A and B are shown apart, each in its own frame.
Chain A
Amino acid sequence: MTLLASPWRKLTGQQREQHRILIPALALTLIFFAIISIATGAVNIDVASLPGILFRSDHASARDTVIVWSVRLPRTLLAILVGAALAASGAILQGLFRNPLADPGLVGVSSGSVLAAVCTIVLGQNLFGANATQFLPLAAFIGGLLSTILLYTIATRNGRTYTATMLLAGIAISAIAMAVTGVLIFMSTEQQLREFTFWSLGSLAGATWAKTASVALFILIALGLWPILARGLDRLALGEAEAGHMGVNVQVLKRVAIVATALLTGAAVAVSGAIGFIGLVVPHLLRLVMSPRHRFLVPAAALLGAILLLVADMIARTIVAPAELPIGIVTACIGGPIFLWMLLTNIRKLES
């Protein structure tokens, strides 16, 4: 619990005002990296010819137009959306559970999505015919939502949701989902197994405009819920009873927070597979330098998450070009050491 700085702790003046500089700076950095992302890749496209391609001038080569418009643009936007969704849901969940270890994996969304994905890969051909993998994103999204609803039902008694029960039941549900996933993996053919392995390592390689547009809808709606949640989450840090006394309808707050994170994570996992570490690391990084008040923390987390995933994807698609690395490997390679470094340099602050 001590890891999670209270929004009510004494802040230095610097930290209190940090967000005024930090949020615009993050937004500018994101725009900067988005431009770099569109300009770089396995194919060398002259930066000078980019405006021509973007505005579809007649001089642009057909190949470069396809690469920029059908590969790099949807992929850049998808990386921004998924990164923002993962980091924002991490920030909301850590606030809701008042637990520094809470990340999207804990509320059962990820394990439900993974189970639904492996079902589609292994059993899909019998249910939907040869094109079963087209249903994979939708199945993963529905699987994530269903497991969250199940977990919420388990942890709710007489109209009150017990967050500790929810965390523990989340671990149990993940274990059950993993077991069923294991059975399906056992039944799978060699190709299905390969397909699942690559899906579970995460990748944005399958980005298309249709995919980007459909997740944008869910992610933007869910991100739009943060102003409603922010004040309640701040007060919740003092304890449930205290938050109640301060006029927060704790049950409504929990419900909205769970719906928002299920939508964010479900949509992200559906289009990009299981990408770890962004949801866990980003909120912690930000709390070290800025006010932990959720009004500023959630949007800052969304921006930093988007930047990190965008950079990770640029590494994934260029470092072994013309081949490509699964992005989950890159985020874990970056996220793990950053997290450790953060813990080691702030050990005194965190334990006090």
Chain B
Amino acid sequence: MRVSEKIDLWLIIHMLISGAICFGIIFILDGFGAPWRLTEWLVKIYGSLGVFIFEEARNGYYLIRLGLIYLPAGFLGGLYLGYKVKERLKVNMVFPSVIGFTLFLLYLAAVGYQIAGMEHILKGILIPLFTSISGSYLGGYTFNWHVEEKPREERISLIFEK
């Protein structure tokens, strides 16, 4: 009983650390505006940042944000948890992103950012969270990817002498 309690406590601690890693990565990448700097650099080649008046272009930037903020954040959180925890990955790997993203939402609420309306809930919460969770699974399984290799086939030929 004691042993399992001890393990559970450490599991929770590792989950919290992985969530903190996920939050930290989102905070840093979003705070320094890394996706925007890259996008701005790419679009400046054409010399026209006016294109962001169109929603299609803004959606394009949104995809870049998903790929450069939420996916890596979830991945690194999952990578830590996958390194520390080897059991029940299917369940455990949800937590780095859920904890990290919840912390990020709390931070946004603290600085006065409002998320209201269905579009904001979908694009501001659900899609980034799902992307981040996907990243966590990929990170967790990177350390725990075991596939049973098939034994090498050997061809044996019998030659009978006459």
Q: Say whether A and B bind each other.
A: no
